[in-house]
Chains A and B, each alone.
Chain A
Amino acid sequence: MRVFLKSWYDRQSLALKLSVSILVCVFTVFAALVVFLFDATEHIVGSKTEEIGQKSVETYVNDMTHLAVDTQQLVLNTKNMLNQLSESDVSSLQLVLNSAIKTIYHSALTFTDAWVYIFPPEDVSHGTLYRSENIDGKISFKSENITNLYDLFPWFKQVPKEEKIYWSEPYLDKLTSKTVVTCLVPFMFQGKTDFDGLVALTVDLTNMTRSINNFSFAETGKLLLISREGLYVAHPDPNIALKMSIFELSKKMELPQLAEAGYQVLSGKTGTTNIPYSSVFDTSVIFFYAPVFPLNWGLFLVYSEDALLKPIRHMQYLMILPLLVGMLILFFIIYKMCHHSTKQLLTLSHIASMYGQGDFSLNFDEVISSDEIGVLAKTMTNMRQNLLNYVEKEKKEASEKQRIESEMNIAASIQNAAMHKTFPNHPSFKVFASMKPARQVGGDFYDLFFLGEDKVSLVVADVSGKGIPAALFMMRGQALIKNVAKSGLGISEVFHVVNKELLKGNETCMFISAFLAVIDIKTGVMQYVNAGHTPLLVDNKEGYQYVKTQRNIVLGVQKDAVFKAESMRLKEGAKIFLYTDGVTEAENNNHQFYGQDRLLDVLKKPYDTPQETLKAVTDDIQNFADGNEQSDDITMMEFVYLTSSFDEIKVQSDMNNLSKVLNFIEDNMQKYHVANETVFKMVTAAEEIYANIASYAYEKKEEMEIVVKTHFDGTYYHIKFIDFGKEYNPLTRTDPDISAPLEERSIGGLGIFLVKKFASDVTYTRQNNQNVLKISIKV
């Protein structure tokens, strides 16, 4: 039950909880007050009523005591008068009795008759009875001889024979049918020593019993009167009055308390007996009793407390109704008040949850009370403003961050574009390079460019620092090196000039370590200069090893620095590996460097292509780093020198050597996979070109030379015919008229015509007293 109540309570709204709580408190206080008040009222009323009841009983007791005492007094007076008579004198007796019966002291003191019974000394049962009767106010006197007194007054048997007042039990007078009681006393005439008779007064109890029966107290309260023997003298029930004793009734009703009360009062005690609920009375009753001493009777007041308090209880019930109505009204008022407040709380909660979802359209303006809820609303209004400001700020920062991010991406792609992604498919070399920046943009770079037809330049460099500043400096350095190198300076001078340029306005002291190599692919001779860069790795058909290079200072630091160049000859199949310190300084979690030895070890394994070599090194570094973040840009380049793709033949300009030259051209073209059809056309053209030179170029044919140089650059096959004779441009010759009849056409000129048709480019130059005819064919 408690659990159920608690769970119910938890589920209710604050307004209901508050209302119920207050109501319960108020109700408890009121209920306690009501109970206390009613209890006190009952107590006061109860005791007051009891007091009144007891007072009434007292009055009745007093009245009866008076009656008894007065009656006794009268009887004694009569006896004294008779004592003074010497012998029975009827007239005197009548006088005495009449006067006695006439005496009315009190309304209750009504004597029905007064008599004197004179009996002989030896026998009481028969004698003479003189009697005055009061029948409805008329008094008569008569005398009769009694043969048996006990027939007339059965109770006489109990009268003791002594000079003492005796009260009979109440009895029904046969003559008048009234409830009476007789008070008597023996007497003796003057001069006698034994009793001569009895004098008696019979008291009418009718008035008294009627008064008692009519008595009503607190609705059900009644008076009961019992005689000395416990006989009911007065009882509301006529079947009980004078017919039953209290003891008999107690037995009949099985109420021993009743008998006990009877004993108590007859032994002269005053008291109260409470009888709890009994079916006899259909309620709980209280008996208050008091003795009537002269008669040794007892008077009871019987009343029911419930009945006594009935009007009060009724009033109490009447009071409960308005109390409940008041409570109900109170509940509604409290509930409305609380509900009004909590409704505002609900509104606040609703708006706050909308804020939580990012909707700031609603404000707290409608909550304007100045109580705690108003304070909360004000706080939340401030919070809304702060949140809006914060969101605005966040938006700005996010867009700024996004802008920087996108700019960084653009920068990265610009930088990326500055470095080759595809490498020339050259017959003389294979090359591959990669740059993996630590951040979005890097400070490393590599470059590869041709200087003329037969020289290729390789650059690998590293700008101090990382990120945007390094990237900017790198772009500058890369462009400088390339442009200066292409101007035709020697490599020492290239770095000298670049160094000077970089020093201009280099406030931030940035510098570049760089390695520049220029390889003559015709001869395999490599010239290189190392400006503070990592060592060179070369595999000149003996396996990779580090080559000690001339040390020079980095670029961008020292004015007038001198950069010493060196050179070596690469054998066919030789490899060189260039890298930045991002390779050797790659770190693992134990702060160990990847190092030169590991690099050398991995390079010593055989790979088919530079791509594979670089991939192997990259993988090895990654394995070594074991998840450790890359801290520096990693750049590598491998160059493999295959073979010289420059061939030439030098012969005396003699027609005897024609076949030698033509064989050379045919073989050489086939070496570079030129199509057979093209080879045939070329050989045809060459025959004519050779014949022209041999016939016309020289005065002294036997001394002069013809040089044929070929070169395949991967795309075009170039062939040059060089002679040192007089100036002659075969291309100026008019094309033969191929539409003319055969007999009219000149023999020469067809070869050149053919060349013009199939070659991609044909040029003639005259330089250094040489005729140079260059033919380029796309392969």
Chain B
Amino acid sequence: MSEEKKLTIELSKTNDVLLCKLSGWLDPNTSPELLEKIDLDGVKTLIVDMQGVEYVFSAGLRAFMQLQRALDAKGGTLSLIHVADTVRSIFEYTGFESMLEPKA
């Protein structure tokens, strides 16, 4: 590969709300990093800002699912915001659109 597509993760926590800003690709190489970086300890609400995300592979979907499960277990919520249309279609194809906020 000429150049690896990177995933950058910015985290900011306010009380029990964790805002996670992502940009880049969520592929099999970068997705495990996402799970490692996000610490759900004391988090009720995880908001993932997908504005900079260009593409999500199934590994990325799996990562979101694992986050969703972990939050469900303690009554938390996961919201994905600013999802680009291309990415939205991936969620739709695979039946994950329940994770997304309603389309504006």
Partners in one complex: yes
A residues neighboring B (CB under 8 Å): 462, 464-466, 509-511, 513, 531-535, 551-554, 557-558, 561, 581, 585, 587, 589-591, 628-629, 631-632
A532 — which chain B residues lie within 8 A by C-beta? 93-96
Closest residue of chain A to B25 (Cβ to Cβ) is A591
Is the C-beta of B28 less than 8 angstroms from some C-beta in chain A? yes
Query: Is the CB–CB distance between A629 and B1 below 8 Å?
Result: yes
Query: Is the CB–CB distance between A464 and B2 below 8 Å?
Result: no
Contacts known (A465-B59, A511-B65, A581-B58); A554 close to B1, Cβ less than 8 A:
no
Closest residue of chain A to B93 (Cβ to Cβ) is A532
Query: Is the CB–CB distance between B58 and A513 below 8 Å?
Result: yes
In the assembled complex, the CB of B54 is this many whole angstroms from the nearest CB of chain A, namely 9
B62 — which chain A residues lie within 8 A by C-beta? 464-465, 509-511
Query: Is the CB–CB distance between A557 and B65 below 8 Å?
Result: yes
Query: Is the CB–CB distance between B96 and A553 below 8 Å?
Result: yes
- Select one of B1, B5, B69, B95 contacting A553, CB under 8 A: B95
Query: Is the CB–CB distance between A465 and B66 below 8 Å?
Result: no
In the assembled complex, the CB of B66 is this many whole angstroms from the nearest CB of chain A, namely 5
Closest residue of chain B to A580 (Cβ to Cβ) is B58
Query: Is the CB–CB distance between A466 and B95 below 8 Å?
Result: no
Is the C-beta of B33 less than 8 angstroms from some C-beta in chain A? no
Contact with A along B51-82 (1 / 0, CB 8 A): 00000011101100110010000000000000
B residues neighboring A (CB under 8 Å): 1-3, 5, 27-28, 57-59, 61-62, 65-66, 69, 92-97
Interchain residue pairs with CB less than 8 A apart (23): A462-B58, A465-B59, A509-B62, A509-B69, A510-B62, A511-B58, A511-B65, A513-B93, A531-B95, A532-B96, A534-B93, A551-B92, A551-B93, A551-B97, A552-B95, A553-B94, A554-B61, A554-B94, A557-B65, A581-B58, A589-B2, A590-B2, A629-B1
Extra A-B contacts (12), CB below 8 Å, given A465-B58, A552-B95: A464-B58, A464-B59, A464-B61, A509-B62, A531-B95, A532-B93, A532-B94, A533-B93, A553-B94, A554-B94, A589-B1, A591-B3
Contacts known (A464-B58, A533-B93, A554-B95); A509 close to B2, Cβ less than 8 A:
no
Closest 10 CB pairs of A and B: A553-B95, A532-B94, A464-B58, A589-B2, A532-B95, A464-B62, A509-B66, A509-B65, A554-B94, A552-B95
In the assembled complex, the CB of B91 is this many whole angstroms from the nearest CB of chain A, namely 10
A581 — which chain B residues lie within 8 A by C-beta? 58
In the assembled complex, the CB of A560 is this many whole angstroms from the nearest CB of chain B, namely 13
How far is A629 from B59 in the complex, measured between Cα atoms in Å?
18
How far is A585 from B25 in the complex, measured between Cα atoms in Å?
13
How far is A581 from B59 in the complex, measured between Cα atoms in Å?
12
B96 — which chain A residues lie within 8 A by C-beta? 532, 553-554, 557
How far is A533 from B69 in the complex, measured between Cα atoms in Å?
22
B57 — which chain A residues lie within 8 A by C-beta? 585, 632
Query: Is the CB–CB distance between B94 and A628 below 8 Å?
Result: no
A462 — which chain B residues lie within 8 A by C-beta? 58
How far is A631 from B59 in the complex, measured between Cα atoms in Å?
12
Query: Is the CB–CB distance between B94 and A513 below 8 Å?
Result: yes
B3 — which chain A residues lie within 8 A by C-beta? 591
Closest residue of chain B to A629 (Cβ to Cβ) is B1
In the assembled complex, the CB of A77 is this many whole angstroms from the nearest CB of chain B, namely 139
B93 — which chain A residues lie within 8 A by C-beta? 513, 532-535, 551
How far is A557 from B99 in the complex, measured between Cα atoms in Å?
12
Give the one of B2, B65, B69, B94 with max A CB within 10 A. Answer: B94
Give the one of B58, B59, B61, B96 with max A CB within 10 A. Answer: B58
Closest residue of chain A to B27 (Cβ to Cβ) is A631
In the assembled complex, the CB of A587 is this many whole angstroms from the nearest CB of chain B, namely 8
A552 — which chain B residues lie within 8 A by C-beta? 95
Closest residue of chain B to A585 (Cβ to Cβ) is B57
How far is A551 from B69 in the complex, measured between Cα atoms in Å?
22
In the assembled complex, the CB of B74 is this many whole angstroms from the nearest CB of chain A, namely 17
In the assembled complex, the CB of A495 is this many whole angstroms from the nearest CB of chain B, namely 11
How far is A510 from B58 in the complex, measured between Cα atoms in Å?
10
B95 — which chain A residues lie within 8 A by C-beta? 531-532, 551-554, 557-558, 561
Closest residue of chain A to B91 (Cβ to Cβ) is A532
How far is A585 from B62 in the complex, measured between Cα atoms in Å?
17
In the assembled complex, the CB of B79 is this many whole angstroms from the nearest CB of chain A, namely 18
How far is A561 from B66 in the complex, measured between Cα atoms in Å?
18
B59 — which chain A residues lie within 8 A by C-beta? 464-465
In the assembled complex, the CB of B32 is this many whole angstroms from the nearest CB of chain A, namely 10
Query: Is the CB–CB distance between A466 and B28 below 8 Å?
Result: yes
B97 — which chain A residues lie within 8 A by C-beta? 551
A628 — which chain B residues lie within 8 A by C-beta? 1-2
Closest residue of chain A to B92 (Cβ to Cβ) is A551
Closest residue of chain B to A512 (Cβ to Cβ) is B58
How far is A534 from B65 in the complex, measured between Cα atoms in Å?
19
Give the one of B65, B69, B92, B97 with max A CB within 10 A. Answer: B65
Give the one of A462, A466, A591 with max B CB within 10 A. Answer: A591
In the assembled complex, the CB of A9 is this many whole angstroms from the nearest CB of chain B, namely 57
How far is A654 from B86 in the complex, measured between Cα atoms in Å?
67
B69 — which chain A residues lie within 8 A by C-beta? 509
In the assembled complex, the CB of A443 is this many whole angstroms from the nearest CB of chain B, namely 9
In the assembled complex, the CB of B17 is this many whole angstroms from the nearest CB of chain A, namely 24
In the assembled complex, the CB of B33 is this many whole angstroms from the nearest CB of chain A, namely 15
How far is A628 from B1 in the complex, measured between Cα atoms in Å?
6
- Select one of A511, A513, A557, A591 contacting B5, CB under 8 A: A591
